[in-house]
Structure 1
Amino acid sequence: MTAHTVQPAVSRFPFIDAVKAIASQLIVLHHLAFYGPMSDYARAISPGLITWLSQYARIAVQGFLVMGGFLAAQALARDGRPVAKPVGKLLWRRYLKLAIPYLVTLLLAIAAAAVSRHLITHDSIPDAPGLFQFIAHILLLQGVFGFDGLSAGVWYIAIDFQLYALLLIILRSADRIWPERPGCARGCVIALIVASLYVLNRDAAWDNWAVYFFGAYGLGAIAYWGTRPGQTDWWAIATAVAAAVALVVDYRSRIFVALLVAIALGLSRCSGIIATWPRTRLLAWLGEISYSVFLVHFPVCLLVNAVFERFVQHAPAIQFAGMLLAWFASIACGALLHRAVERRAAGWLKR
């Protein structure tokens, strides 16, 4: 086995924090626009904006997929070879990192749905979960077993864990089979990117499995491995070209956005601005709390929607103000969750 020991990594990249900040806020606004009833009334004030947020802002999740691959490549194989830690330990730590704040917000989502069902009747409110549905959510297998999500966006947590596991297995397997050829692992990743972009991502039957999303995730990994200050490897450029050709074969806006984010990450690393720009406290803070905001925003928005539907006048301006209130409350609750749960869990895992 030729796996390498862990090397110290840059703790935060301002450029990645900025992309996370923007993507997470777009996801919150998408769900506010997509799920009513506040947006149904507020649409009269700005129909174009709410329609765009409802239909297109969700594509921002592709940014998270690409950045996930980029950061996973850094964590698992900074120099192209996998780190020398047991696979089981790495997967367990990844699960805990994702699941500790996720399980807290899952309970919040169940409670928020129960309160909302008591106040109003609306299609956006999840039903009370059954035992097996709840267990499937704990195991991040709800999509695989066909259960409805208990909160918006929980599918992404399950897919993120699958993608991390898949990348780790590819790296370790290639390292065992071709220990003297570290480029083979990279070649396997590129081959799966191509398979995903040209075949698997074009078939919605695969959308509960990592391979459906590996085109975006793998592009992030290639953006990390294929660039360094002042240099971009030819095979990274070739992978980007293959992704662009896949868009000619079958245009998908989600893949277009993923390719743009991957190129932006690669260029930012090649130029060095990934670690220096932008230097804004707001974006850095929003990027730091982005995962917690992503997790907690749905139960917050659910409760605000229910209260405004039941107790507040249905005038478009007032309901639009309710959407803004839900947006800012999601950020505030995300900051609280980050401080009280996510950051403490991360410190515990490091120790």
Structure 2
Amino acid sequence: MPTTHFRILDLLKAVACNLIVLHHLAYYGPMTDYLRPLMPDVVGWFSQHARIAVHAFLTMGGFLAARSLAGMAVDEPLRAVWRRFVKLVPPYMAAICIAVAASALAARWMTHDSISAPPTLAQFAAHALLLQSILGYESLSAGAWYVAIDFQLFALLTLLLWLAGRGRHSWWLAPVLVGGCCAASLLVFNLDPAWDAWAPYFFGSYGLGALAWWAADRQRGPLAAVVLSGAILLLGGLALELEFRSRIAVALGTALLLVLACRGLVRLPGQNARLAAYLGRISYAVFLLHFPVSLVVNAAFTRFAPAQPEAQAAGVLLAWLASLAAGAAFHRWVEVPLSALADSARGKRPAQGVRTT
């Protein structure tokens, strides 16, 4: 499939990433606490609702993971999972180290719940193994849980595709297995917050994305696209009928939009813009870096700026722009070199075109 059909992914990642940055600025404060009396509805919306953009990321993650795994025979699932771990963890741990330093700096200027205590060795090791939520350790950065869940979801999808590949009819068995696990997630696990440290809670969104890839793949005929799109609608519709969840509505809408756009049936304004492509490319880096950057800016404006809405509004804008700038620098000087190093270590040429992170 030509990469031009994937440009919508960059636009969606750019929008979702910025919503997450603004959500954390509104949710954690304290700069936005001064803005709330002036614009309570805006701050309240970003604080309470913008976080559901994470489920657009989860859906796109499932889409890209299915696409990536479709290009290989998943006959060695442990090796595929290890490759994913090596790709995710080095930039993630670099961002965690930055977050620890940011918390130490911010603690000099303010006292706030968003500042993490210096990590213990066990806490740091749990983050490196992506087990912090499972083991009950406090997260060292706001985005750390997502990386751990993404890894679990990729491992689960890899396992399902490996099981499907052992059958004689893997071309249809894979969507059936993924659809079944997707249904279990949407109709059972996602209704119970006790599961929110585990992949089954989030696999509904991720699985809808994987099904969207198979529906969007132009190597499959139009009948397959219709059947798979119908399965997406059925699963999402049943989940929303059982209990309406805005996060599932976002995942369903994202999955259907990906199918329509990649099949060339719709085009969103700005999806071909260079800015959207660039912001989409650096979205993972911005996601990793925005919290420590915002934390330091919040602390600086708490300590040195007047406690007036106008001054604190300037701080919010600065934190937003600084998060994008830090993400761009991190992408260029940390994420890309570490990814290239991981690729060369396993004898693989650096990927071209659409990123699969």
Q: Per-residue deviation at 1:128?
A: 1.5
* CA gap 1:91/1:12 in 2 versus in 1, 3 angstroms: farther
**Residue of structure 2 in register with 1:340 after alignment:** 333
1:72-111 equivalences in 2 (<5 Å): 72-78=65-71, 83-84=73-74, 86-111=76-101
Instruction: Please tell me whether the aligned partners of residues 13 and 283 of structure 2 are also in contact (alpha carbons under 8 angstroms).
Output: yes
**Residue of structure 1 in register with 2:313 after alignment:** 320
Say whether residues 1:211 and 2:218 are aligned partners: no
**Residue of structure 1 in register with 2:285 after alignment:** 292
Match of 2:15 among 17, 22, 41: 22
Instruction: Please tell me whether the aligned partners of residues 31 and 302 of structure 2 are also in contact (alpha carbons under 8 angstroms).
Output: yes
Say whether residues 1:201 and 2:194 are aligned partners: no
- In 1, the alpha carbon distance for the partners of 2:33 and 2:254 equals 32
Alignment gaps of 5+ in structure 2: 345-357
Q: Which moved more, 1:230-239 or 1:321-330?
A: 230-239
**Residue of structure 2 in register with 1:280 after alignment:** 273
Q: Per-residue deviation at 1:119?
A: 1.5
TM-superposition CA deviations, 1:262-296 (whole Å, max 9, x none): 01001111226679972111111100000000000
Q: Per-residue deviation at 1:147?
A: 1.1
**Residue of structure 2 in register with 1:250 after alignment:** 243
* CA gap 1:305/1:275 in 2 versus in 1, 3 angstroms: closer
- In 1, the alpha carbon distance for the partners of 2:288 and 2:242 equals 35
TM-superposition CA deviations, 1:190-243 (whole Å, max 9, x none): 000111110010011111000100000000000011234583231431232221
Instruction: Please tell me whether the aligned partners of residues 45 and 317 of structure 1 are also in contact (alpha carbons under 8 angstroms).
Output: no
Alpha-carbon RMSD? 2.0
Instruction: Please tell me whether the aligned partners of residues 15 and 273 of structure 1 are also in contact (alpha carbons under 8 angstroms).
Output: no
1:1-351 equivalences in 2 (<5 Å): 10=3, 13-78=6-71, 83-84=73-74, 86-176=76-166, 178-229=167-218, 231=222, 232-271=225-264, 278-351=271-344
Secondary structure of the structure 1 residue equivalent to 2:79: helix
Q: Per-residue deviation at 1:120?
A: 1.1
Secondary structure of the structure 2 residue equivalent to 1:125: coil
- In 1, the alpha carbon distance for the partners of 2:16 and 2:232 equals 24
Instruction: Please tell me whether the aligned partners of residues 212 and 232 of structure 2 are also in contact (alpha carbons under 8 angstroms).
Output: no
- In 1, the alpha carbon distance for the partners of 2:159 and 2:113 equals 40
Instruction: Please tell me whether the aligned partners of residues 14 and 277 of structure 1 are also in contact (alpha carbons under 8 angstroms).
Output: no
> Aligned AA for 1:342?
E
- In 2, the alpha carbon distance for the partners of 1:84 and 1:120 equals 50
TM-superposition CA deviations, 1:83-122 (whole Å, max 9, x none): 2563232222211221111111100100110111122111
Alignment gaps of 5+ in structure 1: 1-7
Instruction: Please tell me whether the aligned partners of residues 103 and 115 of structure 2 are also in contact (alpha carbons under 8 angstroms).
Output: yes
**Residue of structure 2 in register with 1:3 after alignment:** none
Instruction: Please tell me whether the aligned partners of residues 74 and 162 of structure 2 are also in contact (alpha carbons under 8 angstroms).
Output: no
> Aligned AA for 2:205?
A
TM-superposition CA deviations, 1:314-344 (whole Å, max 9, x none): 0011001100000000000000000001111
Residue correspondences, number: 340
Q: TM-score, normalised by structure 1?
A: 0.92
- In 1, the alpha carbon distance for the partners of 2:257 and 2:277 equals 18
Identical columns (%)? 48
Secondary structure of the structure 2 residue equivalent to 1:143: helix
Instruction: Please tell me whether the aligned partners of residues 270 and 276 of structure 2 are also in contact (alpha carbons under 8 angstroms).
Output: no
* CA gap 1:179/1:197 in 2 versus in 1, 3 angstroms: same
Q: Per-residue deviation at 1:179?
A: 3.3
- In 2, the alpha carbon distance for the partners of 1:324 and 1:66 equals 29
